[in-house]
Amino acid sequence: MLRAAAFPAVLLLSITAQASDPDDSIDYLSEYGATIGPEDRVSSTGAKLSQPAAMLQQDRFNVNVRRMVHSGDSPDAYFANKSHRAEIASAVIIFTDEGAKANLLYDSQPLLILAYRRKSDRKLVLVVSTSDGEPADDPDADTTDMSMPAAEIPDPFHGRWARSQNACRTGAALEILTIDARGVHQAEGEMLITSLAQDSNERSRITFDARNAGGGEEWRSTEEFHLSRDGTTIAWRQLKPARTSATELFHCGEE
């Protein structure tokens, strides 16, 4: 297995350099494969990321929450936890070679990540090494199919939509959302579908389960879209966890 060959020597050197007692210096947390793609170099709101820690945090959010998996990515049980992912922002990042750092910042070659906690100060440390593409296995990780999407929102619902026609004209970012095959994307969060149903007798109405993220929170819901006959408005309502009245969305046309 790759992980057995890639880490021992370089990891020992890295840990020894940081601790006076390397035999009693760390708590092992996780080991996983990561391929940093374009989606991992921007935040969930589309802002460009420049720091390695921010990209590594976005990668774990994309894999574990958004289910956006590249070849070479693997899930891990530890960073499936939101509070654990938040620690990555202030983690110590150790690159075993310049190639690993270049791959993370600019390329899309597979990486191997080892996560541990220093006992001296409880600091999270991520050791980043170049991988041959074989993803690391986490025995505690969810092994279900993580491809995304499980279903797709049909084309007639795609586009830019707003809660008022005036918002379309002014381009108010907080009032405009984008619907594509994967889900609904807004300035302050997004909703990614996990399953979808469409009545064969009423193609203008879809019901879908979704994984939501926004404002530092994550939750699941069931939603319904009902497209108008002329395709210019959508009646959107939440069915679960609490049923809400419909909100009308107006199509903004092409950008």
Cβ proximity of 204 and 232 under 8 Å: no
pTM across the whole model? 0.50
Per-residue pLDDT band for 200 (boundaries 50, 70, 90) equals low
How far apart CA 160 and CA 185 sit, in angstroms, is 10
Angstrom distance (rounded) from CA 50 to CA 41: 7
Q: Are 52 and 101 in contact (CB under 8 A)?
A: yes
What mean pLDDT is reported for the chain?
Answer: 79
Helices (H), the chain: 2-6, 8-18, 52-64, 82-87, 98-105, 165-170
Higher-scoring residue by pLDDT: 163, 23: 163
Q: Rounded to an integer, what is the distance from CA 131 to the centroid of its chain?
A: 21
User: CA 157, CA 147: separation in Å to the nearest integer?
Assistant: 22
pLDDT band at 132 (very low <50, low <70, confident <90, very high): low
* Contact between residue 15 and residue 22 where contact means Cβ atoms under 8 Å apart: yes
Alpha-helical segments (H) within 160-205? 165-170
pLDDT for the residue numbered 139: 44
* More confident site: 11 or 247: 247
- How far does the chain reach from its first CA to its final CA, in angstroms? 48
Range ranked top by mean pLDDT from 43-47, 93-97, 124-128, 145-149:
124-128
Closest residue by Cα to residue 189 from 171, 210, 212, 209: 212
Q: Three-class SS of residue 216?
A: coil
Residue type, 141: A
pLDDT above 50 (res 149)? no
As a residue count, the chain comes to 255
Whole-angstrom Cα distance, residue 21 to residue 252? 62
Core vs surface per residue 39-51: b (16+ CB within 10 A) or e: ebbeebeeeebee
Q: Rounded CA gap, 132 and 35, in Å?
A: 11
pLDDT in tens, 218-246: 888 889 999 999 999 999 999 888 888 88
Question: Hey, what are 148's tokens?
Answer: 């995304």
What is residue 18's predicted lDDT score, i.e. its pLDDT?
45
Q: Give the pLDDT of residue 10.
A: 41
For tokens 């970012």, name the residue.
173
| pLDDT tens digits for range 52-88 | 999 999 999 988 888 788 888 887 888 988 899 999 9
Q: State yes or no: pLDDT of 140 exceeds 50.
A: no
The full set of domains in the chain, from first to last, is 2-130 (no CATH), 155-251 (2.40.128)
